[in-house]
């Protein structure tokens, strides 16, 4: 409840600086400031900053600022031409592959529909399947050899687990040492 009261007093301070504060609210704020040294220090700091802003000279742009800014802006005709060229390039880049695929499909359609082509495709698929089976079999044999070695030498597994633990431990220590400081 006290924290909410400080926020309300801070809002009253801001309204007081803008001269939007009623006399009763100003009296309430002053009573709180007399009782709360933290808020009183805040009020003094806010008033000092407000006075600095009031005393600072108003800055205005240079006399030729608008002309220089307009001169820097790109030429509208050139920009429209460039955007048109980019869209044209993207259109050609998107349509051209479709035209090439269509031409290839119409040119090679008779060859693709012959039974010899389907047989060759089927044979290639079978060879790819047998190659995949051979690679998978070799992987399983290697995995079996690895498990046999690990069961014969359990100390190697222990050392491996110790090394992995040390790496994770030092990784977390490094993150704690180099990470942001916590208050």
Please report, in tens digits, the pLDDT of each residue of the chain (183 residues total). Answer: 455 587 888 888 988 888 878 888 888 899 999 999 999 999 999 999 888 888 888 778 888 888 888 778 777 777 788 888 988 888 888 888 888 888 888 888 777 778 888 788 889 999 999 999 999 999 999 998 888 888 888 888 888 889 999 998 888 888 887 776 654
Say if 128 falls within a structural domain: no
- Whole-number Cα distances in Å, 65 to 56, 60, 61, 68, 70: 22, 10, 6, 5, 9
Phi-psi region of 21 (alpha: psi -120 to 50; beta: other; left: phi over 0): beta
Enumerate residues 6+ apart whose C-beta is below 8 A from 149. 156
Enumerate residues 6+ apart whose C-beta is below 8 A from 50. 17
With the CA atoms of 165, 171, 172 and 173 taken in that order, what torsion angle do they form, in degrees rounded to the nearest 10?
A: 110
The boundaries of the domain holding residue 159 are 149-183
Total of domains in the chain: 2
Say if 179 falls within a structural domain: yes
Say if 46 falls within a structural domain: yes
Say if 8 falls within a structural domain: yes
- Whole-number Cα distances in Å, 78 to 75, 84, 101: 5, 10, 35
Tell which of 24, 40, 55 closes a domain: 55
Total Cβ atoms within 10 A of residue 33: 19
Say if 25 falls within a structural domain: yes
Tell which of 17, 32, 55 closes a domain: 55
Q: Is 28 exposed, middle or buried (0-12, 13-18, 19+ CB in 10 A)?
A: middle
Tell which of 55, 73, 95 closes a domain: 55
Q: Which two tokens stand for residue 134?
A: 């051979």
Say if 34 falls within a structural domain: yes
Q: Which two tokens stand for residue 176?
A: 């704690």
Q: In terms of Cα–Cα distance, which of 82, 101, 79 is closest to 90?
A: 82
Encode 55-120 in three state secondary structure: HCCCCCCCCCHHHHHHHHCCCHHHHHHHHHHHHHHHHHHHHHHHHHHHHHHHHHHHHHCCHHHHHH
Instruction: Please tell me the pTM assigned to this model.
Output: 0.33
The distance between the two most distant Cα atoms of the chain, rounded to a whole number of Å, is 100
Say if 43 falls within a structural domain: yes
What totals of helices (H) and strands (E) does the chain contain, helices first? 7, 0
Say if 40 falls within a structural domain: yes
């Amino acid at each position: 409840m006290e924290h909410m009261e400080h926020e309300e007093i801070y809002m009253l301070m801001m309204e007081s600086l803008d001269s939007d504060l009623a006399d009763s609210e100003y009296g309430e704020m002053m009573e709180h400031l007399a009782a709360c040294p933290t808020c009183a220090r805040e009020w003094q700091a806010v008033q000092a900053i407000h006075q600095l802003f009031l005393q600072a000279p108003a800055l205005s742009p240079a006399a030729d600022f608008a002309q220089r800014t307009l001169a820097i802006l790109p030429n509208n005709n050139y920009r429209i031409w460039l955007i048109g060229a980019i869209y044209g390039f993207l259109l050609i880049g998107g349509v051209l592959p479709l035209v090439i695929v269509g031409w290839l499909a119409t040119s090679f359609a008779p060859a693709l529909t012959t039974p010899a082509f389907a047989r060759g495709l089927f044979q290639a698929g079978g060879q790819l399947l047998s190659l995949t089976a051979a690679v998978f079999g070799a992987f399983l044999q290697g995995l079996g050899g690895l498990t046999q070695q690990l069961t014969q030498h359990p100390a190697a597994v222990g050392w491996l687990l110790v090394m992995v633990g040390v790496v994770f431990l030092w990784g977390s220590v490094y993150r704690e040492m180099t990470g942001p400081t916590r208050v």
